[in-house]
Amino acid sequence: MAQLQQRNPNLARSVLENDIDTFQRLLREQHQRKLILEHQNREDVQGRPSKRQHQESQEPSAYSQPVDYLPASQAVNNLHPAFANNDLLFADPFDVDAQRRIEEAIRQRNVDDNWEAAIEHNPEAFARVIMLFVDMEVNGFPLKAFVDSGAQSTIISMHCAERCGLLRLLDRRYVGVAKGVGQSAIVGRIHVAPLKIGSNYYPCSFTVLEHADIEFIFGLDMLRKHQCTIDLKENVLWIGGGEHAVPFLQEKDLPLHLHAEARVDDAPPSTDKTSIRECHCSLTTLDV
């Protein structure tokens, strides 16, 4: 770097300041000077030095600085590893492929800077988020309920409804398809059943799905009906307009199949792993 600062202080300054625009411009100028010198050297060999002397007098700045790419190639490693490629460093800056590679190197540098800023200022973004589960009882059977304000309706899987003894109340006239990240068949609806949250009982209706990733989702319809508030500061779910509260479960309180990491890793290759659940945001029911 010291050698580069002596030979080409402007290029050295652009490397130290990470000024990619100036760095590219200086490389183009060096490339142009190199082409001019190569052309003049060929003329010298052909015995026409007078033309070079004439051009030197007309454009002294083009010949005032020595062309030395070795120090630049050494110092440019401090800018970004992508620029350490000699092919890219000495490529014609007007070449389309070289421009594309330079653009990609700049883009990757911006991505790396953004990642480093996130590590410093927003490290929580790289941690695994624990979803919101609470203990509930449906028809006297305990279960871990997933609280999801993004689900249009409260969902219960057919297997869970059978375990809770509710299939005898299933109204099969309400069939349809639940769509979200994926989709699942709606086999019917249970119009009302007792739901125990904390020490209190509330009437609740359920949409029954044939297959569901999570056996019970406490959706927006019941959250609104019972005036629930998701309090992330206190880590509780308030019910009845703030009259009662139940705590959200910690990761240690959840069975293994409900852990976000296990669910994503165990998903088959054909499924979308961007979500640990099937978000049933839209329900289409067909009355028969």
pLDDT digits (tens, 9 = 90+) for 121-174: 988 888 888 899 999 999 999 999 999 998 889 999 999 999 999 999 999 898
Lowest-confidence range among 161-165, 261-265, 272-276? 272-276
Label residue 276 by pLDDT band (50, 70, 90). Answer: very low
Bridge partners (DSSP) listed for residue 128: none
pLDDT at 271: 36
Lowest-confidence range among 52-61, 195-204, 225-234, 238-247? 52-61
∠ CA 216-219-224, rounded to 5°: 140
Two structure tokens written together for 102: 């330079």
∠ CA 147-153-156, rounded to 5°: 70
pLDDT at 73: 47
Q: For residue 226, which of 134, 164, 118, 140 has the smallest C-alpha distance? A: 134
What is the C-alpha separation between 277 and 217, in angstroms, rounded?
10
Q: Is the pLDDT of residue 186 over 80?
A: yes
pLDDT at 232: 92
**Proportion of the chain above pLDDT 90, given as a percent:** 33
Kindly list the structural domains of the chain, giving each domain's residue range(s) and its CATH number in brackets, ordered by start.
2-124 (no CATH), 133-287 (2.40.70.10)
pLDDT at 101: 82
Annotated active-site residue 213? The verdict is no
Which residue is catalytic, options 148, 221, 265, 272? 148
Report DSSP letters for 165-234, one per residue.
Answer: T-GGG-BTTEEEEEESSSEEEEEEEEEEEEEEETTEEEEEEEEEESS-SSSEEE-HHHHHHTT-EEETTT
Q: Residue-wise over 33-44: b if at least 16 C-beta within 10 A, else e? A: beebeeebeeee
> Distance from CA of residue 175 to its chain's centroid?
36
Is the separation of the CB atoms in 161 and 206 below 8 Å? yes
Label residue 69 by pLDDT band (50, 70, 90). Answer: very low
Exposed, middle or buried: residue 107 (CB in 10 Å: 0-12, 13-18, 19+)? Answer: exposed
Predicted structure pTM score: 0.58
Instruction: Summarize the confidence of residues 3-19 as an average pLDDT.
Output: 70
